[in-house]
Amino acid sequence: MSRPTGRVLTLLELLQSGGIRTVAELADRLGVEGRTVRRYVEQLIDLDVPVESVRGRHGGYRLGSGYRLPPLMLGEEEALAVLLGLAAVRRAGPVTGLPTAGETAAAKIRRVLPRHLAHRLDALLETVAHTGEPRELPAPDADTLLTVADAVRHGRPVSIGYTDREGRRSRRVLHAYGIVAHAGRWYVTGAEPVTGEERTFRLDRVTEARTLPGSFEAPVGRSPRDRVLAGFATAGYRHEVTLRIRATARHLRAHLPAAVAVLHEEAGESEEEAAVAVEAEGADATGEAGGERWWRAEVRAERLDWLPPVLAALDRPFVVERPDELRRLIGELADRLASRARRTPSA
């Protein structure tokens, strides 16, 4: 599409939003001079679009009443934004009328999209998994996202240009298993065919992607979502923490999600653990009443200062196996809380 034609369509979109638009406003939005705006208006009139001229101090142009809008025209990024937004509404939870309305709106958009674009967007919506709450963070390039999704859907290798957090650039070939949206970021997870090593890449750091000849079979077992979350929990960080915590799995995961901790169910209860439980909960605290049992939690973290408040919020018996620094931080938090609890209103 030539730039003048694109500007004429942009002018039509501006007029469709309603109201009277001055020549100065339209010229500013289109990045052209006023006489060019008038020429674009004449082109719309030649196409039987009823653009009316309004005279006076606040005059300008507006669309004639009763004009029927032309078929929906969306670019790839616009269509991607709309369909992902509808998918986000469906994930947000039940709201009266919205699930059905979202599905019908998505179906209408698909019907008017070019076939190749509809197929690419379907590939993305079928392959992406979501976890966590959305946040405003750097977004991946739309074409990159669609290309990787297409490779996932059809089991084709994909070549990506990648820039890591240190700014180092590399070219990778990936057998992509899936796309995961987690905490506002987009990730692709898969295996590098040369080494067989499983890898996860942030899609906003992918500078270019293209599918390659050939095909592969994704392994069965863990879902892409589980692979990404497990990768977060086992990534190399400054501190390696091992805890034993007595709680239900559901209560533990509410405070230590899969992206933070790897949990292993303990087979039995040591004398030390039984003593900790009795001290914390009383004589009836041992055993597995209410579904509680001892778990080993493995956490990797750059900092430890966030863990003591989390353990306090758990409010369940626990034992710190390592590191000693975490014991010190927990003791300091306990001292601060005890000191503040002893304060009187007058103090």
CATH code for residues 76-230: 2.30.30.520
pLDDT of 120-135, one tens digit each?
Answer: 777 777 777 766 555 5
Average pLDDT over residues 66-74: 63
137 has a pLDDT exceeding 60: no
- Spatial distance between the Cα atoms of 258 and 297, rounded to a whole number of angstroms: 10
Percent of the chain with pLDDT over 90: 21
| Residue 323 half-sphere exposure toward CB, CA atoms < 13 A | 13
- How does pLDDT run across 270-322, given as a tens digit for each residue? 555 555 554 555 434 444 445 789 999 988 787 889 999 999 999 999 999 98
Beta strand 185-191 with 169-182: parallel, antiparallel or unpaired? antiparallel
What pLDDT does residue 133 have?
Answer: 54
Tokens representing 70? 């032309």
Q: What percent of the chain has pLDDT over 70?
A: 77
Locate the domains of the chain by residue range. 3-63, 76-230, 236-340
Options 3.50.50.60, 1.20.1280.50, 1.10.10.10, 2.60.40.3880; CATH of 3-63: 1.10.10.10
- Dig out the tokens for 153 from the structure: 């859907």
pLDDT at 229 over 70: yes
